[in-house]
Amino acid sequence: MFYGRINFEDLNLPLVITDEGLFGTSSYLRPFRHRLLFSEILISKNRIAIFNSERFSDEPDGLLGEKFVPDESIDDRIKHYHLRFLDFSSIIINKDAETFSCHSSSVVYAPFFLKHDPDGVSIDWDYQRLLKDTDAGIAWDVVLTQIQGIMPYGHRTVIEGVVRTTAGAILTASKNGIKTELPLPVHFSPPFDQIDSTGIERHFTDALEALLDARPLENRRTAVELSGGMDSALSAMVAKNLLGHGLLSITAQFNGAMGVAQQERCATLIQAGGFDNLSLPAVRLAPFGETSLRRVRYGVMPEDESYPEIFEESLSVAKAVGVDTLISGLGGDELYVIYEDEGGNGSGKKNSDCPFLTETGLHYARDIHISYPTGWLAESCWYSSASRSQRLLRHGIWPVYPYQNLKLAQFISRLPYQYRRDRNILRKSISMLLKNDMYEKSYIKETFDPVAMRGIRENKFYLMDLVERSRIANHPYINKDNIISAVQQDFEEMDRDTYNYLFQTLKVLCFFQ
């Protein structure tokens, strides 16, 4: 949540503090400014600390000013921010050591990126701006694991020499490089066999509402995502109960039988929530088209699983009508941990072999993967919210992910299996709020696949040319001919695994075009 440049030669020199941030002879550091955030600066004999954090409803926004404190107070302050369970980040400058460290919360909605060079470090929450006018190197180990369908979360990115802040970790930058201190893994306590189930759904929705109410949200400045799925349905209805009717809702409308079913669910939600709905036709905003951000070098990180073509348009409208906050159902899928001995759950399905990697490439991609320490949130929550937040912050919109909260995750993890199985507590909670049990019945789940397939089909000549000239596709571990063949293939004859690998591979190639 910072933007700037820190040169090592400035670290032991006086720094100027203004309403915009910290400034040195050739260095500057600006926190991301937003109505839902505040910043504070602490100064000790040897260190300067700048914090940027979500704020509670009763806290002021903006820069709170600087305070002179004993050195140990800075460490105590870091612990205090972790106990708030809101998103925050901080940069601590050690003047004597001529280093600085970056700290992040364990939910890390919006990470920032660091690009090291011999003179200092460039810092930015916007990787597109950070990489502008550069010829970025490729982190081959990360790229090949992503093409294989393994999405490793960590400080490493697909860009060689560019790292990002991650959940609960500390990055320390010096003239010699950037070192990482990972958090300790959490240990899940066994779930309860039985609980008093009286009002359990009400407890769940009250907790979600309290998490939203803790923030200074305003009706006219808040939008909700409404995909038609369960996660966004519940977060949107909880937001409506807190903030009232008239919230802007954002929907991407799909075609076919799936689209009809989705539209019926969304119509029920819009009527029940009294939302002012903005619906965009997904098929008109398929990926890889001429106006797609994926055609822009460094435009969309490969692990971004959302739909930038759709969201770019919807967020532009949201910003135009005064929205500065988006409440998302992101992370709801991952909230309901299933333990290995429950419901026949084993080690899970292993990835099949990606047809676009050579035999050597397959072995390399499988062997190189290193897992992040286990946290209360799933890795997919962290990297999905990180990618999506980039787009939101560029529009001046702050994301709120109510499901991505440590206390809520701990609460759900202890529930007996029957509440977590098939997300039953979520289904029953929506039924309670809607007075409609449509989510407790079988329904056609929305999927982006048909739109993505259309985007590949309609832009196959662009994509074939992209593959031909790509420095990634020409790597000896990549089977370029198989990629080109798949782009031209009839998707009705393609198995789902091959399609998934193709879409992921094309996203990687687009990023480095």
The predicted-structure confidence for 458-472, as pLDDT tens digits, reads as follows 999 999 999 999 999
Mean of pLDDT values over 230-259: 95
What pLDDT score was predicted for residue 198?
81
* Helices (H), ranges, 118-255: 127-130, 140-147, 200-213, 230-243
Percentage of the chain beyond pLDDT 70 is 98
What pLDDT score was predicted for residue 14?
87
Mean of pLDDT values over 259-263: 91
Q: Is 339's pLDDT higher than 80?
A: no
What pLDDT score was predicted for residue 464?
97
Mean of pLDDT values over 291-319: 89
What pLDDT score was predicted for residue 295?
94
Q: Is 45's pLDDT higher than 70?
A: yes
What pLDDT score was predicted for residue 189?
87
What pLDDT score was predicted for residue 445?
81
Q: Is 363's pLDDT higher than 70?
A: yes
Q: Is 168's pLDDT higher than 80?
A: yes
What pLDDT score was predicted for residue 318?
97
CA distance 142 to 118: 24
What pLDDT score was predicted for residue 379?
86
CA distance 236 to 226: 7
What pLDDT score was predicted for residue 383?
81
Mean of pLDDT values over 111-116: 96
CA distance 387 to 90: 20
Q: Is 104's pLDDT higher than 80?
A: yes
Q: Using an 8 Å Cβ cutoff, are 200 and 414 in contact?
A: no
DSSP string, 57-122: TTS--EEEEEEE--HHHHHHHHHHHHHHTS-EEEEEEETTTTEEEEEE-SS-SS--EEEEETTEEE
What pLDDT score was predicted for residue 421?
87
Mean of pLDDT values over 188-206: 88
What pLDDT score was predicted for residue 99?
96
Q: Is 344's pLDDT higher than 70?
A: no
CA distance 109 to 377: 12
What pLDDT score was predicted for residue 389?
87
What pLDDT score was predicted for residue 126?
95
What pLDDT score was predicted for residue 348?
53
CA distance 506 to 287: 10
Ordered domains of the chain (ranges, CATH): 2-181 (3.60.20.10), 200-335+377-446 (3.40.50.620), 449-512 (no CATH)
pLDDT, one tens digit per residue, over 239-253 is: 999 999 999 999 999
What pLDDT score was predicted for residue 349?
58
Q: Is 24's pLDDT higher than 70?
A: yes
What pLDDT score was predicted for residue 491?
87
Q: Using an 8 Å Cβ cutoff, are 1 and 108 in contact?
A: no
Q: Are strands 276-281 and 325-327 parallel, antiparallel or unpaired?
A: unpaired
Query: Smallest Cα–Cα separation from 486: which of 504, 472, 474?
Result: 504
Query: Smallest Cα–Cα separation from 165: which of 178, 175, 155, 174?
Result: 155
Q: Phi and psi (nearest 5°) for 213?
A: -65, -20
Which residues on adjacent β-strands are paired with residue 280? 252
Q: Is 305's pLDDT higher than 70?
A: no
